[in-house]
Amino acid sequence: MIEFKDVGVRRDGRELFAGASFQLHPGHKVGLTGNNGTGKSTLFALLLTRMGKGDTEVTLDKGEVSIPDSWHVAHMAQEVGATKQTAIDYVLSGDEQWYEINASLNDLSSVSDEQIGILHQQFDEIDGYRTPTKAAQIMAGLGFNTNQHELPVEGFSGGWRMRLNLAKTLMSRADLMLLDEPTNHLDLDAILWLETWINAFMGLVIVISHDQAFLDATVGHILHVEQQKITLYTGNYQQFIRTRHERMAQQQQAFEKQEATKAHLDDFIRRFRAKASKAKQAQSRIKQLERMAELSPMMADNPFSFRFYEPANMSSPLIELTKADIGYSDVPLLHNANVQVTPDTRLGLLGMNGAGKSTLIKALVGELGVLTGTYRMSDTLKLGYFNQHQMDILDAKATPIEMLRRLAGKTSDAMLRSFLGSFDFRGDRIDTPSELFSGGERARLTLALIVWQRPNVLVLDEPTNHLDLQMRQALTIALQGFEGAVVLVSHDRELIANVCDELYLVHDGIIEEFDGDISDYGKWLAEKRKQENSSDKNTGKKKSKKESKKFVSRETNISQVNSQASDTSSKSKATEPALSKEEQRKLAAEQRKLTAPIRREIEDTEKLLAKIDGQLATLEEKLADTTLYEESRKSDLLVLLNEQTALQQQHSNNEEKLLLSMTTLEEIESAAK
C-alpha cells in the first residue's frame, strides 16, 4: 500500500501540504480533487519522485511517504514529442517488459541458443503472444481505426497524440497508475470505454479529472486537497459532495460557536484586565484564547456566480438548414441535413469521433457553406460561439479588462471588474495578459466575453475541456437559466443531461433525432462497438506478412472446432424426440421456477424506478421556484442540484440493471424453446 505520514511539502516558498496522512491500497480507484493551484500535480510529482520516475523532483519538508519497492508506476504525461515511430509500436512500448523481450526475439544475432529458450519462456509467462491484440483493442477503444496503426506519431494532431499517450500508459504492467485529465481529448464513446477499462484494472489508480460523471463511474475514494490538508473520503464523487457538505456545515457551526466564545473572552479581558482583583482571571482568559485552535469559516463552495443576460430580441427560426449536404472540397460528409434552431431549442449533438458533429456546428454558425440545399439565418441572430479556436485567438498581450473594455464602451470600471469577478478574475488576474493564463483561465475568459455580448443563440463545441468541476457546475446552472437557444457538443454527460431537451445523432452521414437520453446513447455505443468488434474478428484473421514478422505470435484455429461443434449440435437437435404434453407442462413449470428470481428482480427494479421518478418530479417542482436562484439561497440550490444529480445517477444505474435482467430472462426463455 501507499502510506503518507504527517507529510509536509513546500514549493516556490509556498506551503502546499501540511500534516497529510492517509493510506491507499491495491485495487483502490481514487479521484484526486481540489481547486487549481492546491497541489494535485505536485502530489503526482511527489509519488513519481519516490518511485524514481518523473521529470520534476519533489522533496519532503516533513513526514514520510511509504511505497512498496517492488511496485511499478505508469504516468500519463501531458506532452508527446514528434517521432517517426508508428502508432502501434509507440503504444506497445508502454509494456516495457514485452517490448524488450520482443525486440530480442526479432534480432537473434547476438543471442545464444540457451538465451533464446529463456526468452521464449519469459514471453510465454507474460502472455506476450496476446499483447499486440491487447494494444489494438486499447487503440480501438480510444477511437483509432486499424488504418492508423502504421502511421507515424508525428503525423497525428496534438489531441490524437494525447490519446496515443493514454493508450501507451494503459499498456503498462503497472501496480500504480497516475492519470492526469485522461478524458480531456476524448469523445463520449472513448470515455465510456475508458470507464470500463479502469474498473477492470487490478492495480491502484489515482486520477485527476474534472468530469463528474467519469469520477462517479470509476472511483470508490476521493482524495481532496484543500487549505494545505489532504482528506481521504470513501465513495464516489457524489458521495464525497454530500459528506463534505455535511462536514462543512458542522465546521461552520463550530466556527460560529468558537467566535462567540472568543468574543466573550475578549470582552472579559477588556473589562477586567486592569483590575487587580480580576487580573489573574484575565491572564487565564488570555492564555485560553491563545491556546484556542483557529477554525476556518465555511468558504463559499463555488467562486463562480455568473449568469447569461436576457437576449434583446429574437425571432423564429434563428438558424435553419434544409435538405443540406455538408462537407469539404465538394465531397459531402453529411447528407440531407434538416436542422432548425428556434428560441426554445436545447439541442445536444451526439455521435462517434469523426462522424461530423463539428462539421455540422461549422455549418450552423456559417463558417462552412452548404454544398446543396439551403442555409438561412435570422436578421435578429446574435451568435455566441465557443470552440477551441476562439480560445486560441484571444489577444495574448491584452488583459481581461482591456478585452472587455473593447466590447463594453463607456461602462464603468467598477461594473467591469464586478462582472469579471463572477468568472473568478479578481485582483491581479484582471490586469494580467492572457498569454500567461492557463487553459482553464482562457476558457473562462472566452465565455465571459461571449456572455457580455448577450447572444440569443449559444453554439458550444466542447466548452468544458479546460474547466474544473466548480466552473462546470456554474456553467450548467447559467445555461439552465439562459433564455435563448443552445446547441451543444460535449463529452460531459452531466452538462448534456441537465441542459439539453432533445438529442440529435450524427452517424453514417445522417443527422436524425435520437430516441432516448444520454444513458441510452451509452447503450447504443456499446452495441455499435460490439458489432464492429465482431466485424473486426471476421476480417482480422487475414494478417499481412509485415505484421506477422514484426510481432512474435501464435494462433490457434478454432473455427474448425466451432464448426464441428455446430454440426454436432444441429444433428443432435434434429434427432431429438418430440416431448409429450405432460413433459412440456413439467418443463414449463421448471422454467417458471428457474426464472422466478429474475422476474422478482425485474419487478422490484421497476418499482424502484417509479419511486425515483416521483422523487425527481418533486425535485423539479422545487427547482422551478425562481427565488432559489437568488444569491442568498445559493446553498439551498446546490443541495437540490446535488440531490437531483444523485437521483439521476440512481435512475440510470437501475435502468441498466433492469435492461440486463430483462435480457437475461429473454435468453433463458429462448434457450428453453
Q: What is the pLDDT of residue 298?
A: 39
Residue whose C-alpha is closest to residue 78's, from 37, 30, 45, 38: 45
Q: Amino acid identity of 180?
A: D
What is the radius of gyration, based on Cα positions, of the chain? 30
Q: What is the pLDDT of residue 290?
A: 58
How far apart, in whole angstroms, are the C-alpha atoms of residue 468 and residue 496?
16
Over the chain (673 residues), the average pLDDT of each successive run of 10 is 92 85 94 85 90 84 92 83 86 91 80 79 85 90 89 85 92 93 86 92 92 90 91 89 73 66 69 58 59 45 76 89 92 93 92 87 93 94 88 88 90 90 88 86 90 94 84 84 91 87 92 88 81 60 43 37 40 46 60 73 82 81 69 72 74 72 69 59
Is-contact 457 487, C-beta < 8 A? yes
How far apart, in whole angstroms, are the C-alpha atoms of residue 604 and residue 602?
6
Is-contact 335 510, C-beta < 8 A? yes
Q: What is the pLDDT of residue 493?
A: 87
Is-contact 164 91, C-beta < 8 A? yes
How far apart, in whole angstroms, are the C-alpha atoms of residue 581 and residue 565?
30
Q: Amino acid identity of 509?
A: G
Q: In 252-266, which positions are buried (b, 16+ CB within 10 angstroms) versus exposed (e)?
A: eeebeeeeeeeeebe
Please calculate the CA angle 316-318-320 and round it to the nearest 5 degrees: 105
Integer CA distances (angstroms), 643 to 196, 302, 607, 629, in order: 25, 17, 20, 16
Residue whose C-alpha is closest to residue 267's, from 256, 253, 281: 281
Strand 229-234, strand 221-226: pairing: antiparallel
Q: What is the pLDDT of residue 250?
A: 65
N-to-C CA span, the chain? 52
Q: What is the pLDDT of residue 224?
A: 92
Which uninterrupted H or E stretch holds 589? helix 581-623
Q: What is the pLDDT of residue 585?
A: 58
- pTM score, whole prediction: 0.62
How far apart, in whole angstroms, are the C-alpha atoms of residue 274 and residue 272?
6
How far apart, in whole angstroms, are the C-alpha atoms of residue 55 and residue 671?
58
Query: Which residues fall within 8 angstroms of residue 582, CB to CB, at 6 or more apart?
Result: none
- Take residue 552 and report the three cell numbers written for it: 512474435
